[in-house]
Chain A
Amino acid sequence: MNAPAEQATWAATETRLLSAWYATGRPADLTDHLRRYGSPPVTAARGNHRSAPLIRALEAAGLTGRGGAGFPTAEKLRAVAAGRGRPVVVVNAMESEPASHKDQFLLAVAPHLVLDGAVLAAGAIGADTVHLCVPRGRSAQYWQLRRAVDERRAACLDEVDLRPHALPHAYVSSESTSLVRWLNGGEARPLSAPPRSHERGVGRRPTLVHNAETLAHLALVARHGPGWFRQAGTPDEPGTTLVTVSGAVASPGVLEVALGTPLATVLDRAGGAVEPLRAVLLGGFAGTWLPAEHLGTPLTRSDLARLGAAPGAGVLVALPRSACGLTETARVLAYLAAHSAGQCGPCRFGLPAVADDFAALAAGQADALLLSRLRRRTGLLPDRGACRHPDGAARLAASALECFADDVEHHLTHGTCAAARRPPRLSVPAATPPETWR
């Protein structure tokens, strides 16, 4: 996937999480990991409740969650530490976003960096248990994680209990409330807040749910400090981030880039576009289509927000001009509709209706009222579910209508385009509902 030799030439400040991988080209076991980083500085991170040195370091570093929401990590730790009862840490390595592979890749090459982060976070907030959540479908990953945990147990490295779990694999089962609900013996489907997980989560205890990559960054901040962390990235959005680049690029895969890197440079690092590009799908299936003329935009939340987009889980899918953006979007919407938890009205009725209309539009079978109906129904998806699933699907649909406005016109007046008859470009899993939620 990633050839270490050719990528080792990047600026050292921009490879952190993956630096061991680039240097050695093989996954780091505990011996490799301890040789490179030493044991996790748990005692140095510990402190009383809100004043733990690690939390202060994270605040100074400006680390934010890398799972999509981008919430400040220090604030999250503080909120959990301030809760009633002994906290619990949950590592979210579900990565249910089909276009994202960064957490799987990170766990494969540097599992102990993620585990260090979880152990350090647990130490800082006074938690005694860490639940490690991976999807059931990726059994190799689960067993590798168990081996890593066993290595640590054998070395008596940690004072906290590390518990790997294999959860049902559905798009919405990576929502933090789904993890909490499953760990409490229920189904891996999102719950309505309140109560919020950070107040009352696993076993009714304050629960810190963090994305795997975020915890790996945390482990490095604990060792090298906030000043080091800020050497990469922008002053407002410091650090590096993992991205998954796919689509019409020469070498698709997982990369580590500094925040603020222009999108075009990110694509170049993935070998560059192999044909002229029409657009980039940014953030993931619940993301935004960004027209190719915006590829000079830096990869930061604030720069992308101006264009109505977000980095999400660090997904970039390059769509060539020879592809039909409407057809690709219709396939993704069908998948998102099938993978909803089916709990709330907007996902039971609105999202499937939007997906069906989009499929008709892509196939050139639109009736006269389709476009206005599609816009109205899309507008009614956000903010009306227990989780953000309908919001994400609405974002994708709305951005497709805007980004591919010329194609919409063509499909409405002349029927489907020639590109729609070519094989699809995006890799979309089958639009079938998950077999089990438990």
Chain B
Amino acid sequence: MTRTRTLRVDRAACTGQGLCAELLPEMVDLDEWGYPILKGTAIPSHLRAHARRAVAACPVLALHADRGAG
């Protein structure tokens, strides 16, 4: 069974709060209006816990760590 996780932003739900970039700067940048720019989508195993925290912290539930390799 694969344990790969893929980072995904629900773009319509996202309001640009920017917590994801604070909690997961290795994978998320922000544009000049505060909306996320993903540097990659496959979550490396050493960042899995950070990714989980970022997903949980998003106030509008727009950040997801999907099962599988996108």
Query: How many Å lie between the Cα of A348 and that of B9 in the bound state?
Result: 16
Asked if A380 contacts B37 (CB within 8 A), the reply is yes
Q: Which residues of A contact B (CB under 8 A)?
A: 190-192, 341, 343-346, 348-350, 380, 384-386
Interface residues of B, Cβ cutoff 8 Å to A: 9-14, 16, 31, 33-35, 37
CB distance from A192 to the nearest CB of B (A): 5
CA distance A154 to B16 in the complex (A): 54
Report whether A345 and B13 are in contact in the complex, using a CB–CB cutoff of 8 Å.
no
Q: A380-B31, A384-B11, A386-B12 are in contact. List 17 more A-B contacts (CB 8 A).
A: A190-B12, A191-B12, A192-B10, A192-B13, A343-B11, A344-B11, A344-B14, A345-B16, A346-B11, A346-B35, A349-B35, A350-B31, A380-B37, A384-B9, A384-B35, A384-B37, A386-B10
Listed from nearest, the 6 A-B pairs whose CB atoms lie closest are A345-B35, A344-B11, A349-B33, A343-B12, A386-B12, A386-B11
Main secondary structure of the interface of B (DSSP, over half): loop
**Whole-angstrom CA separation of A380 from B34 in the bound complex:** 12
Does the CB pair A385–B11 fall under 8 Å? yes
How many angstroms between the C-alpha atoms of A391 and B34 in the bound complex? 19
With both beta carbons as reference points, the residue of chain B lying nearest to A373 in the complex is identified as B32
Distance to closest chain B CB from A377 (angstroms)? 8
B9 proximity list for chain A (CB < 8 A): 384
B-chain residues with CB within 8 Å of residue A385 when the two chains form the complex: 11
A-B contact pairs, 13 of them (CB 8 A): A191-B12, A192-B11, A343-B12, A345-B11, A345-B31, A345-B35, A349-B35, A350-B33, A380-B31, A380-B37, A384-B9, A386-B10, A386-B12
Q: Which B residues lie within 8 Å of A191 (CB)?
A: 12
- A342 CB to nearest B CB, Å: 10
Query: Is A192 within 8 A of B35, CB to CB?
Result: no
Chain B residues whose CB sits within 8 angstroms of the CB of A192 once the complex forms: 10-13
CA distance A109 to B10 in the complex (A): 41
Q: Which residue of B lies closest to A345 (CB)?
A: B35
Residues of A within 8 A of B14 (CB): 344-345
CA distance A346 to B34 in the complex (A): 10
* Closest chain A CB from B27 CB (angstroms): 14
Whether B10 contacts A345 by the Cβ 8 Å rule is: no
Q: Determine the distance from Cα of A343 to Cα of B33 in the docked complex, in whole angstroms.
A: 14
Q: Could you say which residues of chain B place their CB within 8 Å of the CB of A344?
A: 11-12, 14, 35
